[in-house]
Amino acid sequence: MTPVDATETFRQEAQELLEQLEHTLLEIGHRPGDADLIDTAFRALHTIKGSGAMFGFDRVAAFTHHVETTFDLVRKGKIAATAELIALTLAAKDQMRQLIEAPDAASDADGQAILARLQAAVDGASGAAAPAESGPTTWRVNFRLPSGAMATGSNPLLLIEELRGLGDATVTAQTAMVPALEDLDPTECHVAWSSRVAEGHWLARHARSRQAGAMRTLHRVCSRRVTRSQHIRPPVCLAGKEAALSFRAKGRPS
Amino acid sequence: MTKIILSVDDSASVRQMVQLTLQGAGYQVVQANDGAEGLAKAQATPVDMVVTDLNMPVMNGLGLIRELRKLPAYRGVPILFLTTESDAEMKKQAKEAGATGWITKPFQQEQLVSVVKKVLGA
């Protein structure tokens, strides 16, 4: 076995940890005082940092160190796991993924901006003065289609178009899971998408109760675009300035 | 006779690196994913040394050391921490729990081998 194998093991491990981190953060949104969840998120960050440094992913380790430090404050009860903090940690998670999977395309300026906002959120959560924010809520919507989705005629482009109709949307394709051409399976949709949807007039009008209503609206749109043989796991919503919605369409058990 | 070292870490890539490094130096390595699994494996197969992470799910490194030191067979077995933690208070707790030494991640392979050889005397 060569060191290259260990590096690949780290990539796979990091991918699993980032998925676990996302799931855990969204759960913390529902249960911000759950110490087990907070420990799990901290450990994921801790492992990505430590293993990243070990295998030469220095940018990953340096960036994650700051996020881990923030979450350590949450773990020690010094600051609360506010919705803003969770949303920013989710943004940091996306940056970590970029640094691991496509480091050449990862922008250090974006990373620094996230860390600056994270620090501001920490200051706010720990009682320091934080400027009040105004303006529309931004939704983060991450999705991918289930196994075999293309065989059932699902067309993710329709879902993306409809999401764009809800507000000012920035949609980014996540192509890390696209295999080599010879391994490509035409019945599988290998691409996932992450998007940010700034709440426009349409979404605001149909979501009088803010986050809860907006979440229902987004869920309805997304559900409608998935074929009958599939279902969407209920989305998770975080209250606050930036809300997060993450779901994965799953095949319905037969 | 080949010395057996138990590597306990919730990171598969770190365990793999420890195994590669120590096997290359002539040791046999047994892996465990967390403190509880490490404890079970240590009880099932006597090992000559334990190299453990600190922050792990289910049972962390401190818990593992405390449990191992309760077992007569492990009162004198060297236990090294291999962790990104470098907090002085944490090191003090580790020493009180019965840790033999502390290696900070990221580690150099030569450094790990050197420390293990020094502690095991072989």
Q: What is the CATH number of the domain that holds A69?
A: 1.20.120.160
**How far apart, in whole angstroms, are the C-alpha atoms of residue A210 and residue A199?**
10
Residue A105 vs residues A96, A129, A193: alpha-carbon distances, Å: 12, 35, 17
**How far apart, in whole angstroms, are the C-alpha atoms of residue B43 and residue B68?**
9
Question: B31, B26, B32, B22: which is closest to B107 by C-alpha?
Answer: B22
Chain A closest-CA separation from residue B118 CA (Å): 22
Closest alpha carbon within chain B to A65: B84
**How far apart, in whole angstroms, are the C-alpha atoms of residue B62 and residue A182?**
48
Q: If you average pLDDT over residues A168-186, what whole number do you get? A: 77
* Strand A138-144, strand A192-199: pairing: antiparallel
Q: Is A57 on the interface with B (CB under 8 A)?
A: no
End-to-end CA distance of chain B: 11
A84 in the same domain as A14: yes
CB pair distance less than 8 Å for B13 and A9: yes
Length of chain B measured in residues: 122
Q: What pLDDT, on the 0 to 100 scale, is given for residue A208? A: 44
Q: What pLDDT, on the 0 to 100 scale, is given for residue B112? A: 93
A25 in the same domain as A123: yes
**How far apart, in whole angstroms, are the C-alpha atoms of residue A12 and residue A10?**
5
Three-state secondary structure string covering A51-99: HHHHCCCHHHHHHHHHHHHHHHHHHCCCCCCCHHHHHHHHHHHHHHHHH
Closest alpha carbon within chain B to A56: B106
- Global model pTM greater than 0.80: no
* Residue numbers of the domain that contains A46: 3-128
pLDDT digits (tens, 9 = 90+) for B89-120: 888 899 999 999 989 888 888 899 999 999 99
* Substitution target from B16, B29, B33, B104 for chain A, most A beta carbons within 10 A: B16
Say if A133 falls within a structural domain. no
> Is residue A214 scored above 90 in pLDDT?
no
A7 in the same domain as A112: yes
Q: Is B105 on the interface with A (CB under 8 A)?
A: yes
Domain count, chain A: 2
> Is residue A250 scored above 50 in pLDDT?
no
Confidence of residue B41 (pLDDT cuts 50, 70, 90): very high
Chain A closest-CA separation from residue B103 CA (Å): 13
Confidence of residue A137 (pLDDT cuts 50, 70, 90): low
Three-state secondary structure string covering B82-106: EECCCCHHHHHHHHHHCCCEEEECC
Dihedral of CA atoms A235, A171, A134, A106 in degrees, nearest 10, equals 110
Which H or E element spans position A108? helix A108-125
> Is residue A240 scored above 50 in pLDDT?
no
Q: Is A138 on the interface with B (CB under 8 A)?
A: no
> Is residue A215 scored above 60 in pLDDT?
no
A112 in the same domain as A157: no
Last residue in a domain, options A103, A128, A153: A128
> Is residue B27 scored above 90 in pLDDT?
yes
**How far apart, in whole angstroms, are the C-alpha atoms of residue A106 and residue A96?**
9
Q: What pLDDT, on the 0 to 100 scale, is given for residue B74? A: 95
